């Protein structure tokens, strides 16, 4: 299940990267959706550091991991954990590359039903369709203090088995989502914070190489 959860987290990251600034005067939910759709068209690449904190309900403990991510429109994503363990996920068009300390694997998404669905949702997110994809998420967007907050309720069976809800926090002064909260069915919670975000800067082609 750990691998499945990591893959679904990557889908959320893809969604996050479509969700550009919604700062300014108070806006209706429909205006926010429209602004996101307009702004994503100008986003060619995103690079950032991340800190992921997993809160374990049963053990009343936290696990913190850190790494880097890179995205290039519209079908390339690298998500790399660097500490306390190493794990790399690369999506390049119709290929997925997975690597940990012990082994690596390359998957053709067209030959794997699960990964094909993952790739479809990811690509829908990257082109800005996630907020309007009622089959995958039921989404509510509102304002809480200095933030815009989007709450995603999973609609598909596989997602429902993993998550109760997913919450995205937008700082009005920033150009990307700054925090993602994933509430799992078992009571655990994972928080992903993006830091040192760089938008539309050149990304080394090697970041997305799949051998």
Domain membership of residue 210 (yes or no) is no
Determine the Cα–Cα distance for residues 96 and 115; give it in Å rounded to an integer. 8
We report the CATH number of the domain holding residue 40 as: 2.50.20.10
Domain membership of residue 88 (yes or no) is yes
How do the pLDDT tens digits run along the chain, 211 residues long? Answer: 555 556 566 656 555 555 554 445 677 777 766 766 676 677 788 888 999 999 988 887 899 999 998 888 878 888 899 999 999 988 888 888 999 888 999 988 888 776 676 666 665 554 445 556 667 788 888 777 777 788 888 888 877 888 899 888 876 665 467 788 889 888 999 898 888 888 889 999 899 987 6
Domain membership of residue 209 (yes or no) is no
Domain membership of residue 194 (yes or no) is yes
Q: What pTM value is reported for the model?
A: 0.77
Q: Is the distance from CB of 150 to CB of 168 less than 8 angstroms?
A: yes
Q: Is the distance from CB of 48 to CB of 69 less than 8 angstroms?
A: yes
What's the domain count of the chain?
Answer: 1
Phi, psi at residue 97, to the nearest 5°?
-115, 125
Q: Is the distance from CB of 169 to CB of 179 less than 8 angstroms?
A: yes
Domain membership of residue 175 (yes or no) is yes
Q: Is the distance from CB of 150 to CB of 167 less than 8 angstroms?
A: yes
CA-based R_g, the chain, Å: 16
């Amino acid at each position: 299940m750990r691998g499945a959860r990591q893959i679904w987290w990557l889908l959320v990251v893809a969604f996050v990267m479509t969700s550009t600034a919604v700062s300014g005067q108070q806006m209706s939910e429909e205006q926010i959706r429209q602004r996101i759709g307009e702004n994503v068209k100008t986003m060619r690449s995103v690079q950032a550091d991340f800190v992921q904190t997993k809160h374990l309900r049963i053990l009343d403990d936290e696990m913190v991991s850190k790494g880097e991510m890179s995205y290039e429109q519209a079908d390339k994503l690298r998500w790399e954990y660097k500490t306390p363990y190493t794990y790399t996920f690369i999506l390049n068009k119709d290929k997925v590359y997975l690597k940990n300390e012990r082994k690596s694997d390359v998957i053709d998404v067209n030959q794997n039903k699960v990964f094909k669905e993952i790739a479809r949702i990811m690509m829908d997110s990257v082109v800005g369709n996630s907020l309007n994809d009622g089959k995958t998420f039921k989404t509510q967007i509102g304002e809480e203090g200095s933030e815009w907050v989007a709450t995603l309720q999973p609609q598909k069976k596989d997602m429902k088995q993993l998550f109760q809800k997913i919450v995205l926090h937008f700082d009005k002064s920033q150009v990307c989502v700054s925090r993602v909260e994933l509430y799992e069915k078992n009571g655990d919670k994972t928080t992903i914070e993006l830091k040192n975000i760089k938008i539309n800067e050149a990304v080394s082609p090697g970041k997305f190489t799949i051998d």
